[in-house]
Amino acid sequence: MNRLKILGLSALLLLAACAQQPYRDESLPLDERLALLGFRQGEATDSILAFNVSGWQHLDSRHITLESGIGRNFLIVFSNPCYNLESGNRIGYSTTGGSLTRLDRIVAVDNGMPQSCLIGDIYRLEKLPKAERKES
């Protein structure tokens, strides 16, 4: 019985943590959500070195950010909604070369069911000066 209570409390804490991430509030425009993370959308780019991807953030079903090396961040825009990223905690990628490009895929795994998400566009993210950052 105590174990069940602990699991329930853990689930509630996890949900509360997710709810406190304002950059996931889809009622805000994308540029405002990026500003909450300290970024603005930069120029489009053709590729990201795939072996250098070190982290990611879910924004909504059409957007994630990828961290690639020290200080290099990118916005991935999917061609179609990718729903497994919302609750999934693992991603991979499928590419024909050593770089992620348009028409490559991010693979989201949630409860063992992978969803292949087609990359539509890739943008560099520029760090906002501290004076321009939104408070979260």
pLDDT digits (tens, 9 = 90+) for 32-78: 999 999 999 999 999 988 778 888 888 998 999 999 877 799 999 99
Percent of the chain with pLDDT over 70: 75
Coil/strand/helix, residue 88: coil
Q: Where along the chain do its domains lie?
A: 2-128
Cα 117 to Cα 56: distance, rounded to the nearest angstrom: 14
pLDDT digits (tens, 9 = 90+) for 99-117: 889 989 998 887 777 889 9
Q: Is the pLDDT of residue 14 over 50?
A: no
Question: Which pLDDT belongs to residue 1?
Answer: 42
Phi, psi at 49, each rounded to 5°:
-65, 115
Of the pLDDT bands very low, low, confident and very high (cuts 50, 70, 90), residue 22 is low
pTM of the model: 0.77
Of the pLDDT bands very low, low, confident and very high (cuts 50, 70, 90), residue 16 is very low
Question: Which pLDDT belongs to residue 114?
Answer: 83
Cα 108 to Cα 117: distance, rounded to the nearest angstrom: 7
